[in-house]
Structure 1
Amino acid sequence: MENKNISYFKAKPGSGLKGFSLIMKTLTVLLFVLPGLAYSQTAVPLDSLKADSLKGEIQYDIGDLIKTIFQKGNKKPSLASEKSGLTIMPSIAYNPSIGAQIGIKVVGGKVLGDDPNTYMSVAATSASITTKGIIYFYLSHNAFTNGNTWNFQGSLVAAKTVTPDYGLGIGAAIVGNEADLALNNPDRVGRVLHGQFYNFREKAYKQIVENLFFGAGVSFDIRRKIEDRSSSTDLTPYHVYSDRYGYDRDHYMANGLLFNIQYTNRDNQNRAFKGIYADAGFRINQSWMGSSKNAVQFTTDFRKYWSLSKRNPEHVIAFWNWGSYLVSGSLPYLELPGTGKDAYFRSGRGYTVGYFKGPQYFYSEIEHRFPITRNKFLSGVSFFNIQSTNDDMGTKLFDKWQPGGGAGLRVLFNKATRTNLCLDYAFGKYGARGFFLGLNEVF
């Protein structure tokens, strides 16, 4: 299972462009009109919230709901500062490719140090198993030392995976030979790749000046026992690409050095109300580190948040752009950037992981986040995204775009860390649509 944050996804052909056009028009209205109506009907008193933080304010989260149900007496909601920064929840999901999933997920947050300007450190771990025998474990962290002198970001993944595959490129029609057509897969016929996946990534950032960090690290991506069980022919996207670029069909490694520069002044790493996050860097895969091929990638990640209200700072417009561009060499097929291939597997709602992919990839998304209830227990979002990529058959980056969008509900899971339970329903082209479930905002 590649995307640990997807609860349910179904790609169903036959919706047609007219239906999609109507959906996009509807979403455009939702993006700006419906949130405004919900907000105007649930406004809270002017002095009930601080302009830039909810810390110390009375809020209602799932922990308070449980206390209300199971404890006698009228239990009042606690202050955000009184709450534990640890959230434990079952990890339950269903996907036609993986079956039913059950597991456990833990998300935590804590400020490490006495300096009042220190950013909150966050960490998460999850272990799950599915009815089809898929096993997935991950551990991730984003930690800031006192005064933000150092920032450590890393993850560890071990999995027996099922990876959906829809071919190379952005779905543009091409003229080519039989192998080119199989690789491009213009009809987006879905396949499934089985295998084992192991990843270790760690980066250390040093603060140069306030909010500006320089970082370096390593990443090891290892895949074993890769199988395309959906077809007995060699004319599948994975087989054609692997043979064309000289990769073993059964296994490969993509191991490299990471060099990044980062700027961040977000007020919270889980759910920002204001600020900027920007990261740009190079990944240099090296054969002397065990990588199957040498390659140089340039990646960018930019996020901006505008709070629209002083009395309700969680009423936010958020923008995200993520890109990855191959500078030299080649990448294994399953390591190509694409839909849902960002660091946290959250991009491209409306499509499954890897639905569009290529050596050069560009993605942008805008989201409107708005409060629903006075006690902050429920809020909502509406969002719209676009993506573009190139392929081997003549389609260049930005030649064609694929849109997606939808709306969702947020349930305040832990007010101390601003952790939300996120439930989204999203649409894409080719009849793609699905339900997405996860902890913490998508970006």
Structure 2
Amino acid sequence: MHLLIKNCKSFAQIVIVVLSVSACCLLNTSKAQKTEAQKKDTVQPMDISDVFLKITKRKADTLKLGKKTGIALLPSFGYNPSFGFIIGAKISGGKQNGSPENTIYSVYGLEGFYSSKGIKNVQFRHNLFTAQNRWNWQGNWQIARYGQVDYGLGTKKRAGGSGNGFNINELPTKIADSAYPIKYTYLRLFEKLYRKIAQHWFVGAGININMFSNIEEEKNTNLLGTPHKRYSLRNGFDTTGYSLNGFILTLQYNTREHPVRSYGGIYADLSFCFNPVWLGSNKQSLQLQYEFRKYWSLSKRNPEHVIALWHWASYELGGELPYLGLPGTASDTYGRSGRGYTLGYFKGPSYAYLESEYRFPILRNKFLSGVCFFNLQSASDDNNTKVFDSWEPGGGVGLRVLFKKQGRITLCADFAKGKYGSDGIFFGLNEVF
């Protein structure tokens, strides 16, 4: 906790800047909102199904249109010299389990991929609400022979970043001299159950199982050792496998009117993660994790004009975490943070992330929309660098295609750029946050 107190000054300055920019945008649009509120947009949203019906000149099935369900499929692909050609798919769906007036929309996602060099992954995520939001299940299950390109600990200038090549989703198309590819078998079981205790308030508990085995490093013959090997030996972890298992106590506040593409409200979640040896962890540790999201709609006529803020952080309060269990770029539940950098580009025992995004419709029928975004990352290392000592920026623009208007499901394509020559294109289903 002393790390948080020591660094709160610099962190507060950054938060103030982000909030000030958002406040300016809100003030500049306040007059426009008054005018917009007196108008009514009579144009109905159009999704991919509507476009198909229009092209084929078929009539819509009114019974299906009335259902609050929707499934979207997005093919995925990529290439990395260490992991080969990757092909797979992502599926996103949702369902209204109660009245929309008092029940939050439930969402789930399934993805899988396979590579020409044996990398494979199956992952299922869900965020489900029962009628009247009495219970909320959040989970992330995964079994994989996984891979990532490692760049060491912390957020600070590193040499050789310009050799990464163009990034496609989680992986760079080239391996820089400063990069260290890692392959490992991964089993994750993450599940939280919340009970509603008051309007918008939930308390919960859960379990978080992370098992890493058969760890192989492409550059393990380096005389100086890889970052993974050096960290593991310093902190007493086996370099070929380890576990990070624990249980969670959590508190949630949620006023979002939609979990996939919110036009307003707040989502806040605070968790303490206890990782004891008796539950299978190689080393005992304690983590504080929290997430905060805030959404402002800038127009009553076009609520899709939204400014959104996201802050996600994980702090090591005691003990030691294994290297592949360290929080970092894209280690959030849906793996969407840090656009501009690949999976795990920045990481550390403590990690903090900030992002702001402006969302806007491009076509009046809402079929196409766009986003502009900017993010910041900070991470500690296990030496002298503390979280908030340095920040790494990223940003870019993106296009959204409305796939299913009932569930606000969108197909996403973002071009993002970071520092050290890191840039690329990132595909996904639904908004990043």
TM range (shorter): 0.7 to 0.9
Query: Does 2:177 match 1:192?
Result: no
Query: In the TM superposition, what whole-angstrom CA distance separates every residue of 1:331-376 from its partner, at most 9, and x where no partner exists?
Result: 0001111111112111111111111111111110000000100110
Query: Does 2:212 match 1:220?
Result: no
1:318 corresponding residue in structure 2: 308
- Taking the aligned partners of 1:173 and 1:374, their CA distance within structure 2 comes to 45
Alignment of 1:331-346 (within 5 A): 331-346=321-336
Query: In the TM superposition, what whole-angstrom CA distance separates every residue of 1:150-175 from its partner, at most 9, and x where no partner exists?
Result: 1111121011111110001112579x
2:388 corresponding residue in structure 1: 398
Higher relative contact order (CA 8 A, sep 6+): 1
1:244 corresponding residue in structure 2: 234
Return the offset for 1:120: 0.7
Aligned pair partner of 1:66 in 40, 48, 52: 52
Return the offset for 1:85: 1.9
Query: Does 2:156 match 1:171?
Result: yes
- Taking the aligned partners of 1:81 and 1:269, their CA distance within structure 2 comes to 20
Alignment of 1:81-160 (within 5 A): 82=66, 85-97=69-81, 98-114=83-99, 116-160=101-145
- Taking the aligned partners of 1:298 and 1:214, their CA distance within structure 2 comes to 16
Return the offset for 1:231: 3.9
- Taking the aligned partners of 1:264 and 1:153, their CA distance within structure 2 comes to 14
The code of the aligned residue for 2:141 comes to L
- Taking the aligned partners of 1:375 and 1:311, their CA distance within structure 2 comes to 12
Between 1:164-173 and 1:148-157, the stretch displaced more is: 164-173
CA contact (8 A) 1:404 1:426 kept: yes
- Taking the aligned partners of 1:301 and 1:157, their CA distance within structure 2 comes to 22
- Taking the aligned partners of 1:78 and 1:404, their CA distance within structure 2 comes to 44
Return the offset for 1:315: 0.5
Percent identity of paired positions between Structure 1 and Structure 2: 45
- Taking the aligned partners of 2:135 and 2:67, their CA distance within structure 1 comes to 26
**1:427–1:80: structure 2 CA closer, same or farther, 3 Å change rule?**
farther
- Taking the aligned partners of 2:177 and 2:292, their CA distance within structure 1 comes to 29
Aligned pair partner of 2:403 in 413, 416, 423: 413
Between 1:339-348 and 1:428-437, the stretch displaced more is: 339-348
Query: In the TM superposition, what whole-angstrom CA distance separates every residue of 1:367-393 from its partner, at most 9, and x where no partner exists?
Result: 000010011000000000111111223
- Taking the aligned partners of 1:77 and 1:247, their CA distance within structure 2 comes to 58
**1:273–1:81: structure 2 CA closer, same or farther, 3 Å change rule?**
farther
Return the offset for 1:44: 12
CA contact (8 A) 1:270 1:418 kept: yes
2:258 corresponding residue in structure 1: 268
**1:383–1:77: structure 2 CA closer, same or farther, 3 Å change rule?**
farther
1:22 corresponding residue in structure 2: none
Secondary structure at 1:258's aligned position in 2? strand
**1:375–1:76: structure 2 CA closer, same or farther, 3 Å change rule?**
farther
Aligned pair partner of 1:330 in 309, 315, 320: 320
CA contact (8 A) 1:58 1:79 kept: no
- Taking the aligned partners of 1:82 and 1:154, their CA distance within structure 2 comes to 28
1:229 corresponding residue in structure 2: 218
CA contact (8 A) 1:89 1:104 kept: yes
CA contact (8 A) 1:411 1:420 kept: yes
- Taking the aligned partners of 1:410 and 1:84, their CA distance within structure 2 comes to 21
2:41 corresponding residue in structure 1: 48
Secondary structure at 2:338's aligned position in 1? coil
The code of the aligned residue for 1:367 comes to E
- Taking the aligned partners of 1:416 and 1:115, their CA distance within structure 2 comes to 12
Secondary structure at 2:233's aligned position in 1? helix
CA contact (8 A) 2:46 2:366 kept: yes
1:177 corresponding residue in structure 2: none
CA contact (8 A) 1:80 1:416 kept: no
- Taking the aligned partners of 1:414 and 1:115, their CA distance within structure 2 comes to 17
CA contact (8 A) 2:184 2:213 kept: yes
- Taking the aligned partners of 1:335 and 1:417, their CA distance within structure 2 comes to 33
Secondary structure at 1:334's aligned position in 2? helix
CA contact (8 A) 1:90 1:105 kept: yes
Between 1:217-226 and 1:388-397, the stretch displaced more is: 388-397
The code of the aligned residue for 1:91 comes to P
The code of the aligned residue for 2:80 comes to P
Query: In the TM superposition, what whole-angstrom CA distance separates every residue of 1:50-98 from its partner, at most 9, and x where no partner exists?
Result: xxxxxxx7221122223334x3x36579799536623242422213254
Aligned pair partner of 2:421 in 398, 406, 431: 431
Between 1:326-335 and 1:73-82, the stretch displaced more is: 73-82
Alignment of 1:267-416 (within 5 A): 267-416=257-406
Between 1:216-225 and 1:110-119, the stretch displaced more is: 110-119
Secondary structure at 1:202's aligned position in 2? strand
CA contact (8 A) 1:406 1:424 kept: yes
CA contact (8 A) 1:172 1:400 kept: no
Return the offset for 1:230: 3.0
CA contact (8 A) 1:91 1:128 kept: no
Secondary structure at 1:68's aligned position in 2? helix
Query: In the TM superposition, what whole-angstrom CA distance separates every residue of 1:149-207 from its partner, at most 9, and x where no partner exists?
Result: 11111121011111110001112579xxxxxxxxxxxx981111001111011111011
